[in-house]
């Protein structure tokens, strides 16, 4: 049986027909790099036939979804939002996560646009265009990255699930800016086999949906390890609110929505405790001289840069080149410093149920100024990545939950836990989502 968090009122074929038609409308421009209309139609018909026979294919039976352009599909070259890899050998088999999705009965509508090589939190793509954030019908705002098309495909209602990757916030950032739910698990939960890497130390596969329960249903398929789906009781829970780094340069809309959320959580009986958590301010220095993403992405993709950097987003090339020439000694020292930092973070957070902060410190910025100005782009990129990337550095797990009011641009509340705390954090996220929904009912 399909989870109640997904639409079961109409056939998979009917839902797919609507999605396929909607995918060609102007609002969906730049969302897809590939559409699988015929294959999706065949899968949807098969799902409907099985359903009529009383034979469910799995937890995602008939659920329409998209996958990010950096995930292998058998017989296709994986381009990861770019063009420089065109002509390379096609993938021999589907990525492990895609194999699991298909086995669970999912209907794959298409591959979605992204920041090239997943190396930006903004979502701008010079090769395939930039999907417009559906939260603002009047002005073009960035969707967030790098899983830009994944988020917009869900926000537009084309699909119920967008599968993305998260190396420094690439699921949670677009979820926050588009008013959706995004989940980044502890890295070890979900295999990245068949996913083009940005940073093998930090890369994670996950989903963007409209609810915590929907993300949990997808995670059960991706990880093959079901998490609890009963909400925790908020009364008595302890939440840490770090005062270092996470609240710097927060805009007025985000500050108001975050303060309102904390007040409501406290009124529900939870203990909200401000803590210094000063080690958060050390991450940038500890990541010198290059950081995991530049070092590991340059190591993985230096051949692409050397033969065709002129075919790549220059902003991506500039960040990858920061990893050139880093010695093995410096790289191992980077890991050692991170491991020591993680141990200190565990000491700070071990007595709390979760950490709360804004997912990102701003609402979605306008697209046009960031297309024209490198300085403006990199400033926004750093701010968007700052909060969520700290959780990747910690090897933690985290949710982004919408916490804005009607009429406001979307704001995300990030709920984070330590590595391996996914089960407890799932129950906490369900409780917080229930609280938010009850206030909006």
Q: How far apart are alpha carbons 65 and 428 in whole angstroms?
A: 26
Q: How far apart are alpha carbons 122 and 163 in whole angstroms?
A: 17
379: annotated active-site residue? no
Using alpha carbons only, give the angle 167, 390, 290 rounded to the nearest 5 degrees: 70
Nearest CA to 293 out of 313, 312, 321 is that of 321
How is 39-98 classified by DSSP, letter by letter?
HHHHHHHHHHHHHHTT----TTTT-EEEEETTB--TTS---TT-STTTTSPPPSS--HHH
Give the domain ranges of the chain.
Answer: 1-232+359-441
170: annotated active-site residue? yes
Measured in whole angstroms, the distance separating CA 68 from the mean position of its chain's CA atoms is 10
Q: How far apart are alpha carbons 110 and 96 in whole angstroms?
A: 17
Tokens of 70: 């950096």
| Cβ burial, residue 428 (10 Å; 0-12/13-18/19+) | buried
DSSP state of 131: P
Q: Which of 80, 115, 120, 146 is catalytic?
A: 146
**Dihedral of the CA atoms 397, 402, 403, 409 (nearest 10)?**
130
Considering Cα of 422, then 423, then 426, then 432, what sign does the dihedral take?
A: negative
Query: Tokens 């000063």 label which residue?
Result: 278
52: annotated active-site residue? no
Superfamily covering domain 1-232+359-441: Amidase signature (AS) domain (3.90.1300.10)
Nearest CA to 84 out of 378, 326, 300 is that of 300
pLDDT by residue, tens only, the chain of 441 residues: 455 789 888 999 999 999 999 999 999 999 999 999 999 999 999 999 999 998 877 889 999 999 999 999 999 999 999 999 999 999 999 999 999 999 999 999 999 999 999 999 999 999 999 999 999 999 999 999 999 999 999 999 999 999 999 999 999 999 999 999 999 999 999 999 999 999 999 999 999 999 999 999 999 999 999 999 999 999 999 999 999 999 999 999 999 999 999 999 999 999 999 999 999 999 999 999 999 999 999 999 999 999 999 999 999 999 999 999 999 999 999 999 999 999 999 999 999 999 999 999 999 999 999 999 999 999 999 999 999 999 999 999 999 999 999 999 999 999 999 999 999 999 999 999 999 998 665
How is 209-264 classified by DSSP, letter by letter?
ESSHHHHHHHHHHHHS-PPP-SPPP-TT-EEEEE-SSTTTT--HHHHHHHHHHHHH
Q: How far apart are alpha carbons 97 and 104 in whole angstroms?
A: 11
**H runs (alpha helix) in 109-186:** 148-155, 172-178
Q: How far apart are alpha carbons 328 and 302 in whole angstroms?
A: 16
329 CB contacts (<8 Å, ≥6 apart)? none
Residues 339, 292: contact at Cβ < 8 Å?
Answer: no
Tokens of 151: 């988020």
CB atoms under 10 Å from CB of 347, counted, come to 9
Q: Which of 170, 211, 223, 293 is catalytic?
A: 170
User: How high is the pLDDT of residue 441?
Assistant: 53
Q: How far apart are alpha carbons 93 and 83 in whole angstroms?
A: 21
User: How high is the pLDDT of residue 3?
Assistant: 57
């Amino acid at each position: 049986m399909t989870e109640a968090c997904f639409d079961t009122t109409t056939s998979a074929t009917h839902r797919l027909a609507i999605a396929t038609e909607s995918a060609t409308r102007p609002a969906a421009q730049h969302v897809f790099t590939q559409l699988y209309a015929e294959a999706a139609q065949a899968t949807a018909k098969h799902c409907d036939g099985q359903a009529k026979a009383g034979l469910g294919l799995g937890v995602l039976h008939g659920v329409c979804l998209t996958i990010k352009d950096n995930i292998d599909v058998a017989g296709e070259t994986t381009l990861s939002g770019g063009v420089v890899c065109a002509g390379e050998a096609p993938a021999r088999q589907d990525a492990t996560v895609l194999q699991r999705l298909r086995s669970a009965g999912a209907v794959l509508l298409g591959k979605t646009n992204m920041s090239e090589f997943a190396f930006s939190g903004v979502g701008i793509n010079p090769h395939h265009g930039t999907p417009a954030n559906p939260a603002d019908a009047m002005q073009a705002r960035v969707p967030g990255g790098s899983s830009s098309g994944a988020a917009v495909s869900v926000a537009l209602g084309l699909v119920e699930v967008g599968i993305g990757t998260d190396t420094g916030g690439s699921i949670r950032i677009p979820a926050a800016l588009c008013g959706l739910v995004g989940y980044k698990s502890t890295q070890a939960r979900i295999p990245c086999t068949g996913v083009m890497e940005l940073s093998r130390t930090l890369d994670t596969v996950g989903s963007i949906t409209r609810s915590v329960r929907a993300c949990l249903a997808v995670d059960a398929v991706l990880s093959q390890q079901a998490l609890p789906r009963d909400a925790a009781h908020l009364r008595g829970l302890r939440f840490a609110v770090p005062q270092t780094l996470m609240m710097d340069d927060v805009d007025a809309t985000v500050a108001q929505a975050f303060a309102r959320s904390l007040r409501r959580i406290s009124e529900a009986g939870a203990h909200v405790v401000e803590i210094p958590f000063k080690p958060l301010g050390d991450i940038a220095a500890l990541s010198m001289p290059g950081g995991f993403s530049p070092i590991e992405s340059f190591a993985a993709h230096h051949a692409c840069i050397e033969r065709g950097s002129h075919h790549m987003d220059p902003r991506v090339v500039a960040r990858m080149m920061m990893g050139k020439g880093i010695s093995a000694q410096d790289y191992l020292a980077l890991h050692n410093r991170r491991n020591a930092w993680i141990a200190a973070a565990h000491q700070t957070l071990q007595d709390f149920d979760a950490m709360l902060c804004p997912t990102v410190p701003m609402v979605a910025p306008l697209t046009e100024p960031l297309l024209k100005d490198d300085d403006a782009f990199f400033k926004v990129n750093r701010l968007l990545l700052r909060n969520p990337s700290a959780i990747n550095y910690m090897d933690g797990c985290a949710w982004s939950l919408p916490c804005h009011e009607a009429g406001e641009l979307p704001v995300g509340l990030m709920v984070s836990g330590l590595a391996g705390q996914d089960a407890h954090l799932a129950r906490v996220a369900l409780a917080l989502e229930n609280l938010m929904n009850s206030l909006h009912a």
